[in-house]
Chains A and B, each alone.
Chain A
Amino acid sequence: MSVLSALLVGVLFGLGLTISEMINPAKIIAFLDVAGSWDPSLLVVMASALAVSFVGYRIVLARRAPLFGAAFQLPTKTTIDRPLIVGSALFGVGWGLAGLCPGPAISAAALGKGEIYVFLIALIAGMLLKDGLAPKRA
């Protein structure tokens, strides 16, 4: 059941990205280009997503457990450390260069554009560069 629910939620998430045009790098760059002909659409997407998730999380997390799992799995780290800031800054530079972040890039892969595949291959390479390919030794 948790696999089927993840598939359906993935479709819903992807439809949100598609309808809001967040899968279009030109649209993202038009938002980030504040000194150009600025397109504030992404701000509306974020505000709308946050309004729903802020309220929704409060209702859901008041329950004891998820429907298809033993417990809610939430991040436990609370300190703002160097990896968080350096990593987020590197991510931001890449986001500005390509006009893509991970979710939209995966959805956009469905549309058969070569530039998207170049981005995705590099994305996976970047992740493996950080996480490693071989099993970690304890």
Chain B
Amino acid sequence: MDIAGFTPVSAAIGGGLIGAAAVLLMALNGRIAGVSGIVAGVMAPLRGEGGADFSWRLAFVAGLVLAPLLASLVKGEIIAIATPHPLWMMALGGLLVGYGTRLGSGCTSGHGVCGVARLSTRSFAATATFMAAAIVTVFIVNRILGF
């Protein structure tokens, strides 16, 4: 276990904020905070659908983008992130995440947080499936292929 990399305090605080945001979106807007569904909804007008929900969804997405900028301002430097896997894996990964979350009706936020919090059996099944698939994928990529 990577004790140096384990950040339980910031993880607990950040997780609490994510949970609070999910609760607030339900309390205020009556909606599930599922990011894949919200993003797909932003693109729905391309098909001539979902006009009424376009504005709040776009506003939520804008808020997501704004947050790391605010955090960077407070910190006084751009938040550092790293992408350990090669670019082609980012592209293939994006394609699979996009297609898979639409086919499976949700992602880590909609199923993993909101659905599990509602004790939805579909979300339990989805979360177990994507967790297992992701762990096997990283095992193959990092431990067998040696990336």
Which A residues fall within an 8 A CB radius of B?
2-27, 29-30, 32-42, 44-54, 56-57, 59-61, 63, 65-75, 77-80, 83-103, 105-113, 115-116, 118-136
Contact across chains for B59 and A10 when beta carbons are under 8 A apart: yes
Contact across chains for B134 and A92 when beta carbons are under 8 A apart: yes
The residue in chain A whose Cβ has the minimal distance to the Cβ of B78 is: A111
Which B residues fall within an 8 A CB radius of A?
1-2, 5-8, 10-33, 35-36, 39-40, 43-44, 46-49, 55-57, 59-72, 78-85, 87, 89-105, 107-109, 111-118, 120-122, 125-127, 129-139, 141-143
Contact across chains for A90 and B103 when beta carbons are under 8 A apart: yes
Chain B nearest CB, measured from A10 CB (Å): 2
**Chain B residues near A85 (CB, 8 Å)?**
104, 125-126, 129
Contact across chains for A78 and B59 when beta carbons are under 8 A apart: no
The residue in chain A whose Cβ has the minimal distance to the Cβ of B101 is: A91
Cα of A8 to Cα of B121 in the assembled complex, Å = 30
**Chain A residues near B71 (CB, 8 Å)?**
15, 18-19
